Amino acid sequence: MNKPELLCPAGDFERLKTAIKYGADAVYIGATDFGMRTAPSNFTIEQLYEAADYAHQRGVKLHLTVNTLPRCYETPALPDFLKQVGASGVDALIIADIGIVALARKLLPDMEIHASTQTGIVNELTARTLYDMGVKRVVLAREVSLEEIKVMRSRLPEELEIETFIHGAMCMSISGRCVISNYLTGRDANRGECSQPCRWNYHLMEEKRPGIFLPVFEDEHGTTILNAKDLCMIEHLKELADAGIASFKIEGRAKSPYYVGVVVNAYRTALDAAMEGKPVPEWALRELDTVSHREYSTGFYYGRQPHQQSYYAGGYVQDWEVSAVVEKCENGRLYLTEKNRFEADAELELLEPGKPPVKVKAADLRDEEGNLIDAARHPHMKASIAFEGEASEGAMLRREKNPQ
């Protein structure tokens, strides 16, 4: 059995480095144009060259999203854009629009093309048609079940790869073609600007009783019937690999470097264990509770399940934060760049790739000049703490915000 690729998100260069450090086989990013995420800073054309070089030097592939559905006023810019990104060294383009697929195939005959989940692929007919157009990989719609994936795999050419999401946010519109945000706020979800109104808490107002808001109860807190739980398949990776899925994709180009590092680390550990026929280490399972997330579910892999929506407005659980990033470790000290304030003698945890977190005390906290300080107060300030042991550049120190 081939070991599936672990495909991880990055919204900027810091997150790209983090994803690679913590175990990504491939990373997907967006350019400043034609990519369906506007919240992250994304990559300029010049940065794409640097990103591709950085990834390739470390044996990691780089995929670029070109997954918006361009309007007529945008299409004249596509040929030059495709030629520029094609020359940058990226390994594949993730495309949603079949017109762009055809254009990319014509302009970049050697470029690997992946059909985005936004294409809405739910059967082998669409997948085969895209393959005939020159697509190398299809990213299936999130609503496809595991049994359906097995059927599709059996009916498709071996050369056509299947990619699916294994972790992250789930759009209540499933394949993502939603107009609620555009209608309510003027922010177009299909242009990467979703305001996530599906996460809001709603009440009803009856026409003849204006100003009286009537809750639609699911529980004592009200209703958030559109608020989907997050996907989490960390305990089912062997089943997905056995179904013939070639690439496991983690959602989150708009997520923080801390989120990227923790989630990639957990899934790298879990996938390696699954390929050896071993269970997921307990510490890797617990790691997924230390990042900002909604309640977890298995999505649609096992058919439509009850209670797939979160019953909490917004629904986020966020109990941990990154305190600092390690710059170097030498002479019995950790040299750090602060991310969030922490005090001297604070109880922290050190997170290294492929390892369970280690408890660390912020002892003998000093500033960049070596002066004793009672707290690291300013984002990006340099500081150091006493430390016995080893730690690599880019490792993270974190703390629980409200310890029990």
Worst-scoring range by mean pLDDT, 26-30, 308-312, 397-401?
Answer: 308-312
Among candidate residues 152, 114, 154, the one with its CA nearest the CA of residue 133: 114
| Same-domain status, 279 and 376 | no
The first and second tokens of residue 301, run together, are: 């892999």
Give the domain range for residue 372: 320-400
Give the pLDDT confidence of 166-204 residue by residue, as tens digits. 999 887 666 666 777 776 788 877 667 787 777 777 767
| Same-domain status, 259 and 334 | no
Please report, in angstroms and rounded to a whole number, the separation of the first and last CA atoms in the chain: 44
The reported pLDDT for the residue numbered 301 is: 95
| Same-domain status, 138 and 80 | yes
User: Does 81 have pLDDT greater than 50?
Assistant: yes
Worst-scoring range by mean pLDDT, 129-138, 223-232, 272-281?
Answer: 223-232
Domains held by the chain: number: 2
What is the DSSP pairing of strand 375-376 with strand 333-338? unpaired
| Same-domain status, 246 and 385 | no
User: Does 311 have pLDDT greater than 70?
Assistant: no
Q: How much of the chain exceeds pLDDT 70, in percent?
A: 88
Is 150 domain-assigned? Answer: yes
| Same-domain status, 371 and 262 | no
Q: How confident is the model at residue 370 (pLDDT cuts 50, 70, 90)?
A: very high
We report the CATH number of the domain holding residue 93 as 3.20.20.70
Higher pLDDT, 335 or 192: 335
| Same-domain status, 86 and 132 | yes
We report the CATH number of the domain holding residue 325 as 2.40.30.10
Is 384 domain-assigned? Answer: yes
The CA angle 55-89-34, to the nearest 5 degrees, is 100
Distance CA 105, CA 109 (A): 5
The reported pLDDT for the residue numbered 306 is: 57
| Same-domain status, 148 and 34 | yes
- pLDDT, mean over the chain: 90
User: Does 387 have pLDDT greater than 90?
Assistant: yes
Is 33 domain-assigned? Answer: yes
Boundary-marking domain end, from 288, 312, 332: 288
